């Protein structure tokens, strides 16, 4: 069975996820507007997002401050039919970002790739693809605000162009499904790394009236080119994790466990670990989400070393099918550490405390 064709249970799962897990919209699979369609079934879609939000948090001195920011995304995906068993496919998505406290905005490429959909033989994609690792990262990436993922937090210690573990330039990927098993495998090479590869798999377990359980696993490896071309002291980077999703009606729950491993050019290695646990319920016009994250990054070879011990709650109110207002609050019991603290050896610094945000998002 091809990756883009779904059984009834898969349709149920994706319908629930589209409502509960905003990260699914990252690939442009939902809410796309058809701007061209040929008689042979070839199609070109456009989709996007605009969002404004305000964030209140404690600054480094412990004083409360509120900052606003705006985001926008614009993307196109298309399908050109070759014959009944093959089509050329592709996607280009860009994001305009303005971080809180900054007046600078810039467009950055999120996904740019082309490929072939070969029906039951699967599909291949090449470029800055939407990696199959998204099957794993989507488990915990459910919030409208604070959408960072626990997996692969330090992938850019080797690949400077990798914004996240599931977006790397120079990726050649194969995806397919066999029955209830979805899987992906990819080879990566670009200007920052000698080579890399990743793989992910998930299995849909029908539980009848008890819903659906979906265990997921992933693994990624990156090897840096020799210094001084390498972007850091890390020669080899690995991340691996296991997790599961559970679906029952309008209820969703997910949990993951992830580790990262770093091997340095000079010898020695470090390791980080993290876990996510999230729940969500769609009441119709209102969606409630909550989650817990523990992430120990103090041994990571980067300037943003910290321990997260964070609770998050969020409410989303749907104004229309494509627009929502949302409010999010998170509190981190862990400790933050700055780059200067690393240099002077002062160790872990203050707790990060609470962060509250409200926003308005429109998608099409």
DSSP letters spanning 264-298: ETTS-EEEEEEEEEEEEEE-SSEEEEEEEEEEE-T
C-alpha distances (whole Å) from 97 to each of 51, 69, 276, 283 are 10, 8, 26, 31
At residue 123, does pLDDT exceed 90?
yes
At residue 15, does pLDDT exceed 70?
no
Q: Which is nearest to 181 in space by CA: 17, 22, 9, 27?
A: 9
How far apart CA 134 and CA 75 sit, in angstroms, is 18
Query: Are β-strands 251-264 and 269-282 bridged in parallel, bridged antiparallel, or unpaired?
Result: antiparallel
Q: Is 27 left (phi over 0), alpha (psi -120 to 50) or beta?
A: alpha
DSSP string, 61-130: TS-EEEEEEEEEEEEEEEEEEEETTEEEEEEEEEEEE--TT----EEEEEEEEEEEE-GGG-EEEEEE--
Q: Which of 139-148, 205-214, 269-278 has the highest mean pLDDT?
A: 205-214
CB 113 within 8 A of CB 124: no
Q: What is the pLDDT of residue 27?
A: 52
At residue 176, does pLDDT exceed 60?
yes
Q: What is the pLDDT of residue 67?
A: 82
Question: What value does the mean pLDDT take over residues 292-309?
Answer: 75
pTM strictly above 0.75? yes
CB 308 within 8 A of CB 146: no
Q: Which is nearest to 157 in space by CA: 236, 101, 47?
A: 236
What three-state secondary structure class fits 356? strand
Q: What is the pLDDT of residue 319?
A: 95
202: Cβ–Cβ under 8 A, 6 or more apart, which residues?
135, 136, 181, 182, 183, 214, 215, 216, 217
CB 277 within 8 A of CB 308: no
CB 189 within 8 A of CB 178: no
Q: Which is nearest to 311 in space by CA: 281, 348, 353?
A: 353
Question: What value does the mean pLDDT take over residues 322-345?
Answer: 67
Question: How much of the chain is in helix, strand and coil states, percent to nearest 5?
Answer: 10, 55, 35
Q: What are 264's strand-pairing partners?
A: 234
pLDDT tens, residue by residue, 235-245 = 888 999 999 99
Higher pLDDT, 18 or 11: 18
Set out the domains of the chain in order of their start, with CATH numbers.
8-273 (2.40.160.10)
Question: What value does the mean pLDDT take over residues 165-178?
Answer: 92
How far apart CA 22 and CA 106 sit, in angstroms, is 23
Buried b (16+ CB within 10 A) or exposed e, 88-102: ebbbbbbbeebeeee
Q: What is the pLDDT of residue 34?
A: 86
Query: Are β-strands 43-58 and 123-128 bridged in parallel, bridged antiparallel, or unpaired?
Result: unpaired
| Reported confidence tier of residue 65, pLDDT bands at 50, 70, 90 | confident
Q: What is the pLDDT of residue 1?
A: 29
What three-state secondary structure class fits 187? strand
DSSP string, 135-153: HHHTTT---SSS---STTT
């Amino acid at each position: 069975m091809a990756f883009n064709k779904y059984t009834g249970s898969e349709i149920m799962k994706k319908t629930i996820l589209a409502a509960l897990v905003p990260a699914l919209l990252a690939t442009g699979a939902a809410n796309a507007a058809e701007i061209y369609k040929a008689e042979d079934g070839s199609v070109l879609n456009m989709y996007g997002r605009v969002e404004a939000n305000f964030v209140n948090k404690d600054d480094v001195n412990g004083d409360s401050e509120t900052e606003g920011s705006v985001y926008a995304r614009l993307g196109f995906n298309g399908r050109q039919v070759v014959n009944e068993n093959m089509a050329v496919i592709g996607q280009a998505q860009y994001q305009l970002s303005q971080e809180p406290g900054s007046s600078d905005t810039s467009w950055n490429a999120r996904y740019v790739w082309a490929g072939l959909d070969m029906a039951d033989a699967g599909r291949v994609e090449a470029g800055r693809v939407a990696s199959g690792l998204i099957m794993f990262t989507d488990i915990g990436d459910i919030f409208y605000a604070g959408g960072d993922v626990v997996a692969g937090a330090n992938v850019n210690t080797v690949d400077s162009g990798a914004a996240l573990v599931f977006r790397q330039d120079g990726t050649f990927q194969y995806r397919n499904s066999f029955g209830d098993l979805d899987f992906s495998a990819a080879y990566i090479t670009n200007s920052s790394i000698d080579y890399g590869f990743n793989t992910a798999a998930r299995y849909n377990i029908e539980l009848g009236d008890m819903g659906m359980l979906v265990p997921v696993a992933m693994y990624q490896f990156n090897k840096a080119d020799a210094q001084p071309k390498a972007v850091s002291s890390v020669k080899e980077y690995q991340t691996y994790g296991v997790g599961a999703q559970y679906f029952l009606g309008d209820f969703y729950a997910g949990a993951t466990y992830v580790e990262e491993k770093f091997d340095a050019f000079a010898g020695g290695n470090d390791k980080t670990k993290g876990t996510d646990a999230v729940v969500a319920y769609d009441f119709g016009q209102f969606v409630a989400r909550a989650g817990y994250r523990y992430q120990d990054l103090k041994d990571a070879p980067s300037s943003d070393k910290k321990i997260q011990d964070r609770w998050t709650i969020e409410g989303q109110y749907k104004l229309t099918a494509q627009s929502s207002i949302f409010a999010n609050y998170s509190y981190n019991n862990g400790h933050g550490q700055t780059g200067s603290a690393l240099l002077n050896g002062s160790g872990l610094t203050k707790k990060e405390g609470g962060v509250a945000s409200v926003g308005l998002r429109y998608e099409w």
